[in-house]
Each structure stands twice: as structure tokens, then as C-alpha cells.
Structure 1
């Protein structure tokens, strides 16, 4: 119901489109049941899966959404939710279809009248002499409403003056629309920008000071983010005007109107706009959705009004402001977003590091398949057969791509989707290539290899294992007649000669170098490898597989009452329907209708059978968790790891650690949108216009134009670092513009970045020249935005 509530509050057009989608899904369900493609048990199972569908608008802030194939994440989840039903019979589905058809007809009639009070109010704003020459931003939750507004504006004569941004656009398209809106109207720029919430990530619109909320998000964090698009640092105009269009005579509208009026009263009492910066925190733990759903009755509206009055107070805003001042100092408005930014930057950093791993894998793997790489590996490259027929096994997959794309590959996300095949995990061509490689060389991996680890003093075994969790079959239950795979998990295991085992990253071997010899000191461990392997399998079952099983069982047990209730209501509906049919047939028999006797007998038998079916269905729910179990542990690869003894190789290893630290630091800055230059060698420094030894490794120009110097230090694990005299002097000269980036755990697959601004002031000022800093001081001085 909340979908229709939200869309009704947004626009008649949005409501109409949701009815159209709902009707289409009902028609498809009815057709599937009538054609025998779907029975009622399958329908119930299908609906149970929908319980896991997220309400994205409720559970995520707009900046956390991801677009999927040109659709906003909230649109995908809403479309799934519109496929949900509570009906358990064909008759009930038909009844709902009839009701939805009536509602759709009514919404079309209202829409075709062409009068929408909110839009008329918006037109008044556009024609207000105070705003006629100003740019205006209009936010809506729904792309349907965005399309409606854009068409209406064009009909009012604003053709060529309306920019649009929604979450289905790629970043280039969004940037084009922002620039179109930024351009002065006299130079052909747009006067109006219509945008959805999910469109605004990373977009600053401080050059505009007039904003209209065509609808109000139920998630307070989304409302706060809308306001932040223009009401943030860099905004030069005072005041910033934000207009909220709310149908105050509706029950939901009354609740939103009360909320907004209360916020405005607090703003005036405080004499500050701070209240608009803390909306999300004011409502933490409070569900506006529950308030608005409660408002469907008059009593509910009154109760909600009381709750809002008690939830929103001036004192609460002041308390939040004071707490953030204590935690973050004067930079609270920026620093309070560090937790969110850290998560986003982690994701962006991963995306920027991933292409390097994919490219490295391809460069090493394709020769084994008699394939070569031509072109530019850092841009567009081509795969060519080194022997006749080498590419033949890949052609069945390649034929699914457009002809112009089939021979062009990249490991980076292309700006134009049709430009090349973007190779990454999950991409069909990449998966097929990996599958062929495994089929050809999987046995070699099981035979094992020898690798060198510069960080250890004793040899150990590494096992790469695939752990499977399944639901076992149970012949007593037709629903469980077949085994079903539930989960796969890759795990890396380290095993020492003593038998000690520990889990480690599956990428562990990527960090090591292959050995060209078999060291005699590892012979004993290699001889015992077969027996130790069984211990490793038992460890994986006990410490990895069974915890996964328990987690799944607990999840099913926790949702059991809800699923039982769902099932119970379904059978209650059927029993009520049969009871009504039995009563009607009894009346017919009393009236002398002899043919009704046979039908009554059938109904009685169906009632008896339904009782047994209900019990069997309940038994299925209780039996399912018991059938979840480990399906086994399959080893995919083994390796013997021995200590590195060559001093020269240890030096190379140290260089690799530093290179990894620079790569992680670069990726972090790149994720922020900065332009980064490597100046770590004399040649690179000179090309950047610096002296041969500038005293730092990276030069980063941030989006705001600020330029910072970054000295990078990497460690295989955790430890002290040393600052040279040259670095000490440059840190002293640059102070706040000099950053120390320390990357720990470079010898693992999860390096940790610690960032220290002005290390001279925080760590070095007492020293005279070069200095050694221990890890405790580094952790204490690091920024809150630590990347792990």
C-alpha cells in the first residue's frame, strides 16, 4: 500500500503508471495459473521470496542507491514489490484485477482532466515576478513524475529550457545536464532542472538558490540530502529558498505539513538553518513511513501529530549540534559524513584496483590458452589466436555481442557501453574464459606448486577450497525431492607442520612469487601433505561450513512465525471459500436441486483434504531448516610455501610493498575525484615541474582546486616508519598541505590506509631532521577516515 500512497502524494500520473504495472502483473499471474504454468503452492513460494525485497527508499539514502541497467535501484525494488499478492485463489486474483482496473480507470479520468493543484501551484512559482529570471531545481522521488513535469513544462512554452537528471543516466549524461543547467539562460542554458533523488550523488548545485520539493521523501535522510544539494558550503546566495508542495487537506499531507512547519518553527527559534542539516539524525530510530501509513485513519493522524510534536524539539537539535561539535569540531557538517564517505570511497577504491588484477590475470593466463593480447592493455585491446582454433571455444559466447564489439576488450568500465566488452567477474565472456582455463589446468592446480614468502621463517601449506552449502533432499516431502544448492564460499587455508590451521584470504598466492626449486628443508612437510589435507578439510567444515549453515538456519527460524502466519491466512481464505460454497450447495439441495449433491460431496472431500494439506505445508516450513547442511569441501588448488632467503629478492619484495602502498593511496585520491601525479622518481618529478627530489610521492589536485603533497609509506604488515630529512623539511614547509599516507598490510589482500594531515605538526616538530615513528603514534594521529 505504501507504494500507492507515495505515488498518490507525488502525482496522479505516477499513481496511474503504478496501477498499470500492477494490473499487468496480475494479468500475467492469472494467465500463468490458468495455463498451468503456475500452481497455488508455487505462487505462495514465489511470494515468500518477495519478503526479502528491500524498500530501498526506506532503507537507503539516495546517495547509496545504485543504478541497474538504466533503472534506479528503488525502481527495481518497487517493480518487484508490485508483483506481491496476498490472494491464494484464482477467484481472489480475479477480484483484485477488477478492483485495480476500476482504480486505473478513475486515475486516468482524473489525469485527463489536466488539473493538478500541485502543478498549478508550481506554475504560480515559475510565474512569480520574484523568481521569473531565476533558475529553479525541482526534486521528485519518482521518474514517472519527472516525465510528467518535463512534458507539462514543454507544453507551457519551456521547450529547450528543461534539464533532467535521474539515476538511470550514466555520469557523462548527468554532467551534460548539469552543465546545461549551469549555463546562463541568455547563452542557451536551462532555466529548470527536474531531478530524482537518486540522480544527485556527487552533484553540487550551489549556483542555484531556489528549490521545490514536488513531493516529500518519507526517509528523512533523503530529505536532508535534497536540501544539501544547494544548501551547503559554496552557496553564495542568502537566503536559500526551499518550497515544499504538500496537499495539506489529505491525511498524509497533514502529517507532512505538520512536520515541515515544526522544522520551520525550530529554525526560527534557533535563528539558524542547522535544523535542516540534522533531519536524518533527528529521526534516527523513528520511521516516517509508519507515521504516514498510520495516517490512513483520522485517529491515526491525530496520534501522529502528537508523536511529531514530541519527537521534534529545539532542544534536540541543539543537543545534536553540541555533540557533533564535540566530536568533529568546527568542521562537523563535513566530518559527520566521513562514515558514509569511507564506505563509498572503499567501493570506488576497489573498482579502481580491480582492473589491475583482471589485467594481470589475463596477461598470465591467455598464453596458456594459445591466445595473445594486442593493442593497448590500459585502454582497448584485442585477443588473437596464437594457434588455429584457439578462440573457437569462446565463439558461442562472443556471438551474443554486437559484431562491432566482439573483438574489442577492456578491463575498465567504458564510457560508451557498446565500445568494448568490459571484462570483470560475472561478465559472460570473462566467465567462459575462466571456465575453459579451469577445465584445462584444474588438475595441475591440485598437484600443487611451490611459492616463496619473504615474511615467514618456516614453510607452510596453502589450500584453496570451495565450500558448498545445500538443502538435502527428503523423499517424504515432494517440495524437497531434489537437492538444491544454497551457497558457495571460497576459502583460503594456511596449514603449518604442527597441524595449526588458520583461514586466510583466497588471494594469498597473488602476493607471492613462484619458486624455481624445491627446498630440502620443506621435504618433511611436503611428504605429510596428503594426511594434512584431510585435517584441513575437517577444519573447513567445522570452522567455515557449519557456521554458514547455522546462519541460514537461524534466518529461517527467525522468519518462521511470519511465514506460518502467511500460510495460515492462505488456507483460512480457502477454507472460508469452501464453507461458503458448501452452504450455497446445501441451500440448493434443500430447494430440490439433486445435481448439487455430487458437488457437495466433492466440497466435503476437498475440506477434509485441505486440513491435511495445511498440516503438510506447516511441516514443510519446520522441516526446511533441518535439511540445510554442508554439501562438502572441494579443494581447487594446493601450494607449498617456503621462506625467501635471497637478500636481492627481499629487496624486490620491499619495492613491491612500496608500489602497493602507492597504488592504494592513488586509488583513494582517485575515488575522491582528484587528479593525481606520481612524482616519486626524479624523472616523474621533473615532468610535473618539480625538483628531482620534492620530498613526497604523489601530487593530488582535489575537485575544489586544492593541491596537496602526499608522502606514502608502506609496510608488509604493521610497524614503524622512517621519515627522511628531505621529507621532514618539506613537511615543515608545507604543513597543512602535506599529508602522510601510511599503508599497512600491503602483503595481504586487504591493505589498510591511515592518513595524517600536517605530520610535522602532529608527529615531527620535536625532531631535528629524519625521524622514526612507531605504529602507536601513527594510529593516534591518523584522520578518522581510515580506509580498511
Structure 2
């Protein structure tokens, strides 16, 4: 339906378009993407666009083609693991940012040209930027945006019969298959690599299905023991025994490659659940299993069936229930686990049948113990169409327990939950990181808890105590929770990276090795290979993995592939030069102060809450302003308040100065790329000039506006106003020297250095790196100091005060004439002083002013209206003007003209009783 809609539009309507990488890489979507011009392209999980060996995968080929073609679009690639241990794979993504690299060599050979420290170093903070969760908290935002993540290993003491089941699974996967290799070499005549691949697949099936749940074990192991499998099926179709064996072997090899990618964590291309894939595979092993193997499988199935029948306690399921009680029924928790209480829980399993098994059992538990069946839901490929309903349910209030699989959960962000349970062993670090990342992400307001469940016997105990302890640092015994859960619990706290404890170095992260040296052999790392290596020797695997990790760290540091860790001072300094603000909190505080200033101007009540500001106006209207970001505050102001375009403001000051509010434009290649407001202050006495930006600018405006008089027209200060063009030119030079040199010009210089290094490697220039054009435009608002206003040229006594009107009226009449208006004095018979009109060529009135003239002997900015004048001003609104006249009896008087003063000025009513003495003669 979506595709049909998109196909109907040759040019898509403007807006944001969001789609998964694996959907958009398809040919029918690629053609739609190609037809449209894009302003920006943002790719999340960008590490999925890369190489397989030296050949690009389909995502890089198809989406990369669009990216390279739309060179004018802003491109942002996002990844938590940008480097997977292969230089050419990493550089293939760099080449999407800078396609000119592909003009030097093909994508598979980029490492032969650009895998050099000098090149990598020049990419830092130009096309490659890096920050981790601690950087966000401690450097950029200065608050705890990302809470910690607690990884827990729960070692569950199994029942006696469960221990027998675990031992059987381990024996089948390790001892039996070890003997089986020699048997197959003797009986099949196949090459060693083919046999190893088939046995690795069988080992994976046995371990992953056997250790998932009794439901999964019964289903798959029953298929393994069936004597009427794929081999018999092929014989019945007319294949010879040799042909049937060869065909099955080829099918298993093909499945092995497919599952390898699927199990490693890259599941976006596949719709089938893992148990469906495994069950299809199980029937293909019928020819290769002897009677002793089948007997062991059957004995294991019998134990699992007894667990399902309730004859044997399912220890892992019961421990899961105790964890849920801890979340929803425990009133007293240790301080570091307070965020467990009342949290929302995600239970991840690799298999759909295990998910249904858990769903059935937990529904019964929730109804009995919580009195709420709606607390538990399942999300698999079967009900993927319900994703929006699941999201809404998860975001709601109350107990929430979601059971899901990786295939269904792909792309489902789960930050509303803060408790994750991995029901089976998560063998792949990539898969584990993906799962944690769905919960421990931006928007998570609680500490995250990741429970990894292990039955403390045989293979599972070894994985917990060796692999999870060493790789993820889960080694701190947690005695506080053990009495509540009833099992041994171990803890580690993660600040940034999943593997930071193994690495013992938090300065470098964002990668997971893809190959390692194991017993003098180079081994490509996949989940099936991890299982194989761990079953051979968990300790040797961990040592090899950590060695590969540290080797990769050394290489990344030596080649300077990643930017170095950021320093708070440097970041704030750079931001200050680029934006005028040192950090987001400074910008937020400035925006908040604007709201406070507005409330003061309009005499509104203000109520501040954690996430919003409420303005209560005099008419009862309430304006709700979100504090999500500075932008949301400014947007709310523009949406809720009328824009008043008064150009001049006069503020109280003893200094002869001027302040102009303007806008600077920075143009690159004749296109304006950046604008920001700037203030220019000029002191006419000291001849000093200053440019104001960001925080300082808003603070200055707040200071000026609280003591300023808004004025529509100014007459008589031309000597100062005429200097504004020269002041603006001088300010432009100051801005370039004091601000842009350490901001935008510094970035351009670093781009130039990047292009110079690339040129040495035969690369063609791609990024624009000429100096931009920087221009401060004509000021939009002018603030004039009251010190610029003239005082009256004479001192008048109280007895002749009324005569000052006679001195001011001619000044006003002259001004009106200069502006092409016809003015007449009406103060003798009206409650105002001058009526002025402007006519068009046909004599029709196009502008009419009712003017109240106020004479100012000093430099005061106060404005007073009598009751009759106030009522008239309110009635006439935009037709009513106040002219403040300064400097009567001087050679250069000044007029400040204010339109609609009732709207512009916050008048306060004052009632006074005046005592007057009069002397008169009566003949």
C-alpha cells in the first residue's frame, strides 16, 4: 500500500520519510528514492552498509548508489560500532561521506590507499565524530541523560533431573560430535571443511534449542530422532543414496552460511523465526545420526516432556517469576536497585516456541499474583502487524511484561521499559549489544537492568563464570538480592561500552572483533564459531577474544582511526565560537529568560514545572510552553504572541551609545548556510565597538528591554543613525576576527587540511574549502541611549509650564510636513494636540494620525496620559500617536513617535489629589 502510494507520486511531497535499511535497499524502493531530490539522508545502524570480504553487500551497493548520487544532500551515518576490525569495511562507509575516494580505487581496495594514520587523523571532527554516553552526560548536556546499565548474571541451581538434561545436551554437543567427526571422515569421503561446517551446524542446533526451554528441546530434538527425514524423502524422489547425501550436504552448507549471518545479529533481511529455520534443518540430519546418538536425544526429550507435564520443576521459569515478583511485589529494595520497582520488563528469547511457552506460563502467573492478565503480552512474527498497539500498550501505565524474539523486535525501540531478561545464553556480543541498545538508549529515564539467566551446571555454568565474567565484567557477588531471588547473582555496571570491562580502557570503543587467533589459527568470528570455540575451551576463547580486542585497540590508536576523547573545556569553547552558547543548558536558560521577560511585559502570572512553563494571561488564557529544547520554547513564543515590528528602542543610560540588533549570514559557494542574530554596541565617546552573540546577546537584550521605550519613528538623531552603516562594516571585521576565526573559519581550515592529505594520496577534492562570505546585514532593530537625547534649551518656571506646548507644536508640524503629511493644531477643542493626514494623488486619505504632544525638558522616558487621553488612545488604537519632544529651544530638537501606546506600553493607573492656588483679578 505504501509502495503504491509512493509510486503514484513522481515527486514526493516535502517531509520526513522513514524506512528500514532492508526495505529501502529493494529495487522498487530504490527507483523511488532515485527520482527525488533529498535535502538530508540519515542512516542509522550504518555499519550494516559495508563489505563481505572485498565485495560490497547489497545494502552498500543499492543505498550507497543513492547516497553517492545525491551529493548535495546532507549525509549523516550513525553507528555504535563503526569499525568491525576490517580497514576496507570501515573505509567503505567513509567513502559514502566522501565519494571521491572511489575515484582513486575500487571500494574493496580502499585500505591499500587510505589505511594510513595521516589520512585518518584528518577525518577527525571533520567527517568522523565520536562521543559516548559519558561524553553526553559530562561534556555536552551536563546532566544525566544516560543512566547506568547494570548487567546481572543469575546462576540458577537446577533440579537433579534438569542437571541430567544439561549434561546430556553438553555431551551431545561436545563429546559425541567430537567422535562423530572421525566417523564421517571415514564413511562419507567428504572434505574436512564440509564435515566441520555440518557438525558446527548440528552443535548449534543442539545447544541453542536444548538450552532454550523444554518446549524448544522437545520440538527440535524430536525431529532429529525421526528416521523418516529429508534423506528418505530424496530417495523416494528418485535420488541415489550418494546423490541424496551430496544434496543434503550442500543444503546444510547453504543453511550454515545463512544462519551464520542471522545468528551473528544481522537479522534484518529475514522474516522467519529462528525456531522455524532450526526445525527445517533438523530433518536433514536423519542420515548422519547413529543409534547411540538417537538414544541420547530420546532420553533428553523424555526429561523435557516431564518438565512440560509439571512432574519436574522448571527452575529457570521459576527464577524468572521471582525476578518479576522483585519488580512488582517487593516493597524494600537496596538503594542501587530502586529503579527495579515498578519497572517495565522485556523478556528476550531467540525462539518463537519458547516465547509462547513463557507467555502461557506468565499469563497464568500474572492472573494469579497480579490479578492482571493484560500485564503480559507476546510479540513475534505472528503478530508483527500489531506493532503500533504493542508500542502504545508498553508506553501505558501499570505492569508491563513483553515477551519477544529478535526477529520480531528488530527496529522496535523499547526505552519505555528498563528491565531486560535474556532467557537463554546470548552467545554473540553483537546480539547482546543490540538487545541492550533497545532499552538502554536516549529517552530511558531509569537505570537499566539486564538479567542473564544461567542454569548453574555443565556448559551454562562455564559460560557464566568464564565468558560473561571476563568479557562483560559480571563478577561482583550481589548478596543483597540473593535472599530475595533465591539464586546467586553477579553484577557489573556499564557506563559506555558493552566490552569496556574486557578492554580495561574506556578511551576507545565502538567495535567488536570479527576475527581472532585461536590456537595458532585465524578464525572468523560468528555465533556458530563462538559456540564451537566455547565448547572446546571457554577459557581459551575468552583469552583469544580479549587478545583480538586489545590488538584492534592498538591498531586503532596507532593508526589514529577514531577521534580522541573530547575535553569538556574544548567542546564548550568550540560551541561558544560556533553558536554563541557553551552548551545546551546555557541556550535553554537563555530561552527560559525570554519567557520570563515576556511575562513581565504583559503582566502575566508564570508557573514553572519540570517539563513546561505555564503563562497565565489577564484574560484567563493559559499558554503551555514545553521545555523540551530552546527551539520548542522559541517556537511556542512565535505561535502564541503577535509580532510587533517597532524598529527603535530608547533605553536609560548615561553613556552616549547605540545598540543594533542584526543578523549575520555565512555563505558557502554563494549559498547561505548559516544565520544567527548578533548585536553591535557602539560607544560614541570612547569609539569602542563590541559584537554580542548567543548567551551574552540575550542577556544584553534582557537588560535593555526592561528599561527601554519602544519607538516607531525617530527624528533629530540623524547624526548618530547615519553612522550605522559604518558601524556595521566595522562590526563585520570584528566578528570575523574575534568569532569566526575560531569558529567557522577554523572548520574550513581543517577541511582544507583534509583535502590536502587526500591530494597526496591521489584523491580529488570533494568538500568546499574556500573561505566563506561573512556579512552582517542592515540592523533590524536599533536601541538608542537616552544620553543621546537633548535637554530643553531654557529653564521654565511652573507658572509658564503650559507654554511649552507652544514650543513643541511647531517642531511636530515641521516634522509632519517633512514626511508629506498635512498637519493642523486642534488642542483648543479636542483631547489631543495635532491631527495629521497623508493623501494619495487623487486626494484620498491613506494615513491619518491623531497626535498627543508631550514636551520633555530633561531626558526622562516616562509617558503620562490623562484619563480622557487614555480612553481616546484605546478607542483609536493604531491611529493614535504620542510624540515626545526633546530639546525645545535648541538648534536640533528630537521627536520620539510612538504608535498605539496602549498596546505598546504597560500603563499603570495612578489617582492623585492635586492642591492648586490661583490668583486672579475681578474688576
Larger CA Rg, structure 1 vs 2 = 2
Question: TM-score, normalized by length of structure 1?
Answer: 0.38
Higher relative contact order (CA 8 A, sep 6+): 2
Using structure 2 for the length normalisation, give the TM-score: 0.33
